[in-house]
Amino acid sequence: MAASDNGLSGESIGADSVAGGEHPKRPLAGDDVMKENALSWMIGGPALTGGVNRSAELFAKACARAGLYVFSNVEYHSNIMGRHISYRVRTSDVPVHSHVEHVDLLLALDAETLFGTPEYQDYQRHGGHLHRLAPDGVVVLDSQAKIDHSAIERDDIHVVALAYDDLVRESVEELGVVYNARRHSVMRNMVPIGASCALLDFDINHVVSLVAEVLPAHRQDMVEMNRHVLLHAADQARRAYAKEEFHVTLRPRPERNGHMLIKGVDAVGIAKIHAGCGFQTYYPIAPASDESVMLERHQTTYPIVVLQAEDEVASMNMAVGAAHAGVRAATSTAGPGFSLMAEGLGFASITEAPGPVVVLWQRGGPSTGLPTRQSQQDLRFALQPAHGEFPHIVVAPGDAREAARITHMAFNWGDHYQIPVVVLADKFIANSLVTLDDLGLDDLPIDRGEYWTLEMNGSEPYRRHRLTESGISPRAVFGTPGGQFVTTSDEHTERGRIDEQVENRIAQMDKRMQKLDLASSEIPDEWQYDFVGPDDADVTIVGWGSTRGPITDALPVLESDHGISANFLQIRLLRPFPTTVVHEKLSRARRVVLVEDNYMGQLGLLIAEQTGIKLERMALKYDGRPFSQDEVVEAVCEHHAADIGRLVLSHP
Amino acid sequence: MVVADTERITAKTFGVEDSHPDWCGGCGDFGILSAVKQALATLGRPPHEVAVISGIGCAGKLPHYINSYGLHTLHGRALNVATGVKLANQNLEVLVAGGDGDGYGIGAGYLVNSGRRNLNIAYLVHNNGVYGLTKGQAAPTMRRGQKTKGMAEAAIQESVNPIGLAIASGYTFIARGYAMAQRDLVSLIVQAVRHRGTALIDILQPCPIYNDLMTIDFFRGRDVGHNRIYRLEDEGFDGRVHDPSNPDEIVAKQQAAIAKSFEWGDRIPTGVLYQVAAPTYEDELAGRLPELGTNSLLDLATPGQDISRLEDAYR
């Protein structure tokens, strides 16, 4: 297949294969054997006023508490109030790391959740979610919202209409309390949960106990009211859907009820505290600031200062200063902020600062782009984030647990190699909730790198950038007696003095760049890549970052439903690149499919650059939405069946 | 280079024998360097407890000539880096240095926001009106209508008023010095460092190569028959707020400082324009986590913090 003029292999852009669009014909076949606990649930409604987030997170938590494995992800606009939010909760008896296309149970707080908005009518495929509902699926809607029932032109699904406000009012009055809309309407978000519990045969007490935990002491009187709303909603839902059993039930698994339910931003925050990160800077930006806001809440109990800076230039350079002064420092941002951090990153690298750790939560670019949506567009940018040639580490975790563990290691690498480290995460990891046994931080090593002490060089002046065999010079932390040094963003001598001589320039360039080779040889394989599945397979999927979730979920489905054996090469360390192992794995692979959330196939370009292997088969998504398990299955099936080159996926 | 703590601390203690300034002859930076070393000697802190953080430009080279910890950072970002250094280790005496283009142009946003924080650091701005290292373009302090011999056309942008900007930004110590008035400059630097909070000293200096307007002769007032530079204290000006709990006095002193900041031409005021005692950023942090009142993050933020309770909160 000839390369097109934009440098991408495969067909020309106009002739792209575009997959997806039709609503799913059936629930995911892989789940057929265990419809018990295999649920795809979605709630949709307006931001803020709908209480969508609260409902979904409460329901997800109740499922997690009941011992189910949960994966939950949210789609929202860059908007405070009113624009559409959809929040999915997927449960299972086996660990799940992604969403599926179909929905079994859809809770619609407004018409947009079902039909989308008029502006979507310009496109063939609308923006609502009704089409995602699986046959025999149920939509629960608010009969008091302006929803045109006749527009639901599907006879293979069931509609349960509940009067949300009436239901809340009746429940309150049952308790002998005078109904006050301003005070009580907040409990509307219990209605879809109560209805869900009824349809799924799930005990509402899983939810009630959570409400009691969440409400402060002086609001505990509300627990009983919430319980009443839940009971009332459950009762009404049962009556409205009296015909038959819903096709999914939720059965508690008490043996597993101790696991965490956590988002990537919180997992990374905990990892930073554990790693002894004393200084976190940030400038508010979606989807990164949740991580800093989480850390802000712990400043009174842990030795960490979170400084909200005036911009990301300041954030970056403050963190560099703290790192030089001996404190583990970090900052956190998204693409637009990372653009401003470029200059400081080069400064950190040439001055051999130990860190900082920069967590880059990618979102859709370019420019302001899609502020709250998924993408993996910043790989190439992260690899060369500033002018000049300098070493830094770029590492991409595949999920929340990996994000926590890699963040911990990033501090070690920053200290050990005295270079900045970019942890390349994204919105899908940031905002998705997942059940985990733990974050896996306890067993990780702590490495602060080599310190300089006065005894080390006697009467010799300290050389901050001393030429050593490894390229690493023992560092004197600011304040160390006798270790006074100056270093500079200019090219400099071993002693940090500005210098433009050619020999020194070569020596210092070599010294710095050599640290990448050292890192490549020292960083254990588990941080460089992961290989999942059989050694020998029909298809090898290659990816990085958060596509790990949908890809690993897709592997067993490909085998069981499509008879395709597939394995997965996840590249974690992107700089320095694990060239040898990638070359070896790909050379042996029969059919390689590259999966990325971007337009260019950026990992593919990097692999070609590093190994000389050009990946022709791509499954790309740049619609601002993460891959679902089904999309990976679909893409691999299509690539398995035919030579289609560049496949672009979207399921609006 | 290795200085034992017992050695008597003098200006020479902060000297660097094997690194020589590459500033031009007659540059005001020499005067500022000399004053900084003298002030450090007066303050008596050993070199390893001092950090000098600078921006880019001629002024940015300052730390290379001082025996202390030093970071010669990026254009306009010295205050940011210094903020990180100070918060990591509050025991360090942190001095920040840079030019007027560095501080009032490319770094203006950080000048403003550093004032809001009131961290316990001192910021010395070498103000010579031009970008020297890039061959004499107008700095943000160049007044509208002025034209140095190196400029192709006269400036058509208004100049920034750094003193007024510092007042508006919340600086708690604001002074103006003159690079050639050594004794006064040393005194101002000592006061700025001793001040609890962020101190700004706008230091006028000649650039003998590119600024033929702000020359030594100009400051001496050859043309007007008297020294243009005068000391505010000689005229009974008192910029210090004596009762920080009195908002009326604060406003009055700020207004007086701003009024003085516009004085330029035949007479140029130097000295302390404004000073007030106010809680520092470090005070605020200690209010949040009391351990930070006596320890630095450097000592407290050790790896391996117990996070079991944090994890459990998500169960």
A307 domain residue, yes or no: yes
Residues A233 and A346 in one domain: no
B252 domain residue, yes or no: yes
Residues A163 and A64 in one domain: yes
User: In this predicted model, what pLDDT tens digit does every residue of B82-127 receive, in sequence order?
Assistant: 999 999 999 999 999 999 999 999 999 999 999 999 999 999 999 9
State the pLDDT confidence band at A652, using cuts at 50, 70 and 90.
confident
Structural domain of A403 = 261-436
* A-B C-beta contacts closer than 8 Å: 214
A473 domain residue, yes or no: no
Average pLDDT over residues A55-80: 96
CATH number at residue A597: 3.40.50.920
Residues A207 and A269 in one domain: no
Sign of the CA dihedral A9, A15, A20, A25? negative
Phi, psi (deg, nearest 5) at residue A445? -70, 160
pLDDT of the residue at A121 = 64
Residues A192 and A296 in one domain: no
- Please answer whether residues A359 and A288 qualify as being in contact, where contact means their C-beta atoms are separated by less than 8 angstroms: yes
Average pLDDT over residues A330-344: 98
pLDDT of the residue at A506 = 98
A183 domain residue, yes or no: yes
Q: Which of residues 63-102 of B touch A (CB under 8 A)?
A: 63-64, 66-74, 77, 80-89, 91-92
Q: What is the residue-averaged pLDDT of chain A?
A: 92
Rounded CA-CA distance A531/A541 in Å is 10
User: In this predicted model, what pLDDT tens digit does every residue of A6-45 receive, in sequence order?
Assistant: 333 333 333 344 444 444 444 443 444 448 999 999 999 9
Residues A408 and A430 in one domain: yes
A155 domain residue, yes or no: yes
A29 domain residue, yes or no: no
User: In this predicted model, what pLDDT tens digit does every residue of A126-163 receive, in sequence order?
Assistant: 579 999 999 999 999 999 999 998 889 899 999 999 99
B236 domain residue, yes or no: yes
State the pLDDT confidence band at A413, using cuts at 50, 70 and 90.
very high
A410 domain residue, yes or no: yes
State the pLDDT confidence band at A123, using cuts at 50, 70 and 90.
low
The residue among B311, B292, B294 whose CA lies nearest residue A274 is B311
User: In this predicted model, what pLDDT tens digit does every residue of A627-641 receive, in sequence order?
Assistant: 999 999 999 999 999
* The pair of three-digit structure tokens given for residue B271, joined into one six-digit string: 């000295």
Q: State which H helix or E strand residue B268 sits in.
A: strand B268-275
Q: Which of residues 10-49 of B touch A (CB under 8 A)?
A: 19, 46-49
Query: Of A240, A258, A276, which one is at a domain's C-terminal end?
Result: A258
pLDDT of the residue at B123 = 98
Average pLDDT over residues B27-56: 98
pLDDT of the residue at A287 = 97
Average pLDDT over residues A239-260: 88
pLDDT of the residue at A102 = 97
Angle at A291 between CA A289 and CA A297, to 5 degrees: 105
B42 domain residue, yes or no: yes
Q: Which of residues 245-304 of B touch A (CB under 8 A)?
A: 285, 288-289, 291-292, 297-298, 300-304
Residues A211 and A64 in one domain: yes
Average pLDDT over residues A216-227: 91
- Structurally, chain A folds into a number of domains equal to 3
Residues A211 and A298 in one domain: no
At residue A535, does pLDDT exceed 80? Answer: yes
Average pLDDT over residues B174-200: 98
B302 domain residue, yes or no: no
pLDDT of the residue at A124 = 57
A391 domain residue, yes or no: yes
3-state SS, residue A514: helix
Query: Of A394, A414, A436, which one is at a domain's C-terminal end?
Result: A436
CATH number at residue A371: 3.40.50.970
Residues A174 and A275 in one domain: no
The CA distance from A492 to the nearest CA of chain B, in Å, is 11
Burial of A540 (0-12, 13-18, 19+ CB in 10 A): buried
User: In this predicted model, what pLDDT tens digit does every residue of A552-588 receive, in sequence order?
Assistant: 999 999 999 999 999 999 999 999 999 999 999 999 9
Rounded CA-CA distance B87/A322 in Å is 7
**Residue A27 gets which letter from DSSP?**
S
Residue B201, CB half-sphere, CA atoms under 13 Å: how many?
31
Chain A hits for B1, Cβ within 8 Å: 461-462, 482, 484
- Residue of chain A nearest B306, judged by CA positions: A274
Rounded CA-CA distance A86/A425 in Å is 22
User: In this predicted model, what pLDDT tens digit does every residue of A374-391 receive, in sequence order?
Assistant: 999 999 999 999 999 999
Counting residues of chain A whose pLDDT is more than 70, the rounded percentage is 93
> What's this model's pTM, rounded to 2 decimal places?
0.95
B210 domain residue, yes or no: yes
* The pair of three-digit structure tokens given for residue A512, joined into one six-digit string: 């710095």
At residue A317, does pLDDT exceed 70? Answer: yes
B160 domain residue, yes or no: yes
CATH number at residue B231: 3.40.50.970
Residues A388 and A426 in one domain: yes
B60 domain residue, yes or no: yes
Average pLDDT over residues A294-321: 98
- Structurally, chain B folds into a number of domains equal to 1
Residues A250 and A135 in one domain: yes
Average pLDDT over residues B216-233: 97
Structural domain of B153 = 11-278
Q: What is the residue-averaged pLDDT of chain B?
A: 96
At residue A119, does pLDDT exceed 90? Answer: no
CATH number at residue A48: 3.40.920.10
Rounded CA-CA distance A141/A43 in Å is 10
A96 domain residue, yes or no: yes
Sign of the CA dihedral B295, B297, B302, B307? positive
* The pair of three-digit structure tokens given for residue A16, joined into one six-digit string: 């792209």
State the pLDDT confidence band at A52, using cuts at 50, 70 and 90.
very high
Residues A577 and A598 in one domain: yes
Residues A221 and A280 in one domain: no
Q: Would you call B220 an interface residue with chain A, using a CB distance cutoff of 8 Å?
A: no
User: In this predicted model, what pLDDT tens digit does every residue of A419-444 receive, in sequence order?
Assistant: 999 999 999 999 999 999 999 999 99
Q: Would you call B156 an interface residue with chain A, using a CB distance cutoff of 8 Å?
A: no
- Residue of chain B nearest A298, judged by CA positions: B310
Chain B hits for A276, Cβ within 8 Å: 301-305
- Among the ranges A114-118, A150-154, A509-513, which has the highest mean pLDDT value? A509-513
Query: Of A227, A258, A289, which one is at a domain's C-terminal end?
Result: A258
